[in-house]
Structure 1
Amino acid sequence: MEQTVEAVNHVIRNRRSIFPPSYIEKDIPEEVLLTILENANYAPTHKLTEPWRFVVYKGESLNKLAGFFTERYRTVTPPESFSQARYDAAGEKVLKSNVVVLICAELHPDKLPEWEETASVACAVQNMWLTATAYGIGSYWSSPAILDLLAKFAGIPENQKCLGLYFMGYHDAPEAPARRTPMESKITWA
């Protein structure tokens, strides 16, 4: 049991946001990806709604997602402000990733408030993050301002809400210590 506690503490305390510029060209095996997603399924869920929904982009579908971002840049940028470098960079994070997961919440307004479903999805993503960390896979959750457009692009049903993108890839980022203030300053004993 002691080893299990130590392993859990180690993974939790060493989880970091690792960004696509640090990703290397190494494929995440399907069985590892499925384990990461399966562990999301064990998040807490009030009234057993299991609200987490994911759209997985890997391989060729990453080009489609990157195309969404580059075309979005083209359509919202006035011609006089257009930059080929910015256009090319718009989809770069996606293309540097081995996998990108669109994070969604299936809402059940007749059963629960939206914040509870969002909290469950956040727990599911944390399970993914910890599992990815244990496998040596870098990842981070991004919530761009265009989540509604992303949902439309991905064909997300009306009863779901897009909460962001989860980028993943093996990486060569150096280890970095956690930057946290002492826990004692965040606890009030009653």
Structure 2
Amino acid sequence: MSNQTTALPTPEQFNALVRARRSIQPLQFEPGRVVPDEVVRELLENANWAPTHKRTEPWRFVVFTGAGLQRLATFQSELYRSWAGASVDEKKAQKLAQNPLLASHVIAIGLKRHHILPEIEEVEAVACAVQNLHLSAVTHGLGGYWGSGGITYMEAAKPFFGLDKEDQLLGFFYLGYVQNAPGRNIRKPIEEKVTWVRE
């Protein structure tokens, strides 16, 4: 048996990774360039190692790629049109029909409900899983974007993604190669958001 341990990133390397993460819109992806499925599987495996209270592992992912992107695009644009009726926003409908086609993969983000825990704890676990996924994407030079608009909170969308009534659809993670270098990210100083209690 080997005594070698897994080499961990240095604090400096990890700091650089976290601060390099950006939300990259699908319009910023390289058209037609496809991420290998084995890379996507690696990202999902890292997502699977997120913290989870009582080990419920509530995250569920449906991965769309190839012709599956058109299937997703058609489903969500038609569901939105049906839901909106006479009040349909054509610009929004077109965006729903086109955005998936700009990505290499679109990952639907689901929450499988476990009633032994408050729902908020399950949401928090799924969010940690998505952060793992997104940071992993950065290490591969990929762009990622977690969108929660469109059909995300429509009850009628759930069955399409294998979710039951008590489950939640929490949005879509768009994945692709970045066409242009992402811009500078900005955060307000941490001192504005932290209170220290020392006595």
TM-score by length of 1: 0.89
Residue 123 of structure 1, CA deviation: 0.1
Map of 2:95 onto structure 1 = 89
Instruction: Report the CA distance shift for 1:123/1:82 in structure 2 as closer, same or farther (over 3 A).
Output: closer
Alpha-carbon separation, structure 2, partners of 1:144 and 1:164: 7
Alpha-carbon separation, structure 1, partners of 2:76 and 2:55: 35
* 1:1-190 correspondence runs (5 A): 4-24=10-30, 25-75=32-82, 76-78=84-86, 83=90, 87-109=93-115, 111-144=116-149, 146-147=151-152, 148-190=155-197
- Residue 120 of structure 1 aligns to a residue whose secondary structure is helix
Map of 2:4 onto structure 1 = none
Letter of the 1:12 partner, please give it.
Answer: V
Tell whether the 8 Å contact from 2:22 to 2:182 is kept in structure 1 after alignment.
Answer: no
Alpha-carbon separation, structure 1, partners of 2:9 and 2:58: 32
- Residue 91 of structure 1 aligns to a residue whose secondary structure is helix
Residue 60 of structure 1, CA deviation: 1.0
Runs of 4+ in 1 over 4 A off after TM superposition: none
Residue 185 of structure 1, CA deviation: 1.0
- Residue 36 of structure 1 aligns to a residue whose secondary structure is helix
Residue 66 of structure 1, CA deviation: 0.4
Where does the alignment leave 5 or more consecutive residues of structure 1 unmatched? none
Alpha-carbon separation, structure 1, partners of 2:89 and 2:192: 48
Alpha-carbon separation, structure 2, partners of 1:82 and 1:15: 32
Residue 2 of structure 1, CA deviation: 9.0
Alpha-carbon separation, structure 1, partners of 2:75 and 2:8: 48
Alpha-carbon separation, structure 2, partners of 1:36 and 1:104: 16
Alpha-carbon separation, structure 2, partners of 1:145 and 1:70: 9
Question: Cα RMSD over matched residues?
Answer: 2.1
Where does the alignment leave 5 or more consecutive residues of structure 2 unmatched? 1-6
TM-score by length of 2: 0.85
